[in-house]
Amino acid sequence: MNTRKVLHIDSNHPLMIEQLAQMGYENVENYTSTKEEIEQTISEYEGVIIRSRFKIDKTFLDSATNLKFIGRVGAGLENIDCDYATTKGIALIAAPEGNRTAVGEHALGMLLTLMNKLNLVDQEVREGIWIREGNRGYEIEGKTVGIIGYGNMGNAFAKRLQGFDCKVIFYDIKEGLENQFAKQVTLEELQEQVDILSLHTPQTPETMNMIDEQFINRLRKPIWFVNTARGKSVNTAALVNALKQGKVLGAALDVLEYEKSSFENMFSDNTLPEPMQYLVQAKNVLLSPHIAGWTIESKEKLAQVIIDKIKLLNN
């Protein structure tokens, strides 16, 4: 009887190795070989566990002749050629349930920090600067918060807005998603009403460059903008122009258009596009390095969700 083998391309929580072993799999950890090197032996494996080290494309999948599942330890599957994998009967497993709490809390934390200038005033006080009147913040209460994308992440953010006495609405391409946390509206209604906009969409052809100059010009009011979804959903040049014109009052960005797909250091070549140069200097912009879903707890939750879904495949 052939041994059932799973290849781990990225490191994850130890429970994944432990529980796969308990299920009868042989775990092979390879965190350093190139994609091309791995393709030479991928036919030996029934499963692959990956985060974002490289793209699983047609060439890789053609070499993976015995592959039954790919577990992507994260919310999205954009680094996998999903259509081609599906034609080969390969099960695709993601874990948006695993880091939805982390993303919801991070989005709210960024919004509160941005609207109350907490990152700026912290630095000022450390430098001996004590300004109160010039650092008045804004309240969420009484404002309309709009969410685009109402899956696991959008729901988690809306849930955490309960108690702020604000109106929460959302737009999603799927109908019938309204619940106790938010009201579903059309995109036009959202653009008409929103004071605060938070993006929670996956990266798809439809969401690429979604927040552009045309979208921003359709907003009736100046907005606060939060993006913990995918950087390429926002046209950074258009966002910068909106910040300069006051159409966007402030932006909290955990993700950036210029990120590498593997989430490596985007500053490694020491050159930044002009819009990014503006963002890193702007006082009404808050940045974090794609860590909204990156908590101590979510690392364990993501791994457990993947394991639980692999168990379902085996039943």
Distance separating alpha carbons of residues 98 and 297, to the nearest angstrom: 9
Q: Kindly list the distances between the CA atom of residue 60 and the CA atoms of 51, 54, 147, 270, 280, in Å, as whole numbers in the listed order.
A: 16, 10, 36, 32, 37
Give counts: helices (H), strands (E), the chain: 12, 12
DSSP state of 43: G
Match 């988690």 to its residue by tokens: 156
84, two tokens: 């081609």
Q: What is the CA radius of gyration of the chain?
A: 21
What sections of the chain are H helices per DSSP? 14-22, 35-39, 58-63, 82-87, 96-115, 118-126, 152-160, 187-193, 213-217, 236-245, 274-281, 296-314
The helix/strand/coil state of 96 is helix
Which residues are paired to 49 by β-bridges? 8, 71
Q: Are 151 and 174 in contact (CB under 8 A)?
A: no
Q: Are 217 and 191 in contact (CB under 8 A)?
A: no
Q: Are 66 and 46 in contact (CB under 8 A)?
A: yes
Q: Are 292 and 107 in contact (CB under 8 A)?
A: yes
The helix/strand/coil state of 306 is helix
The helix/strand/coil state of 279 is helix
Torsion angles phi and psi, residue 47, rounded to 5 = -140, 155
Residues with catalytic roles: 230, 259, 290
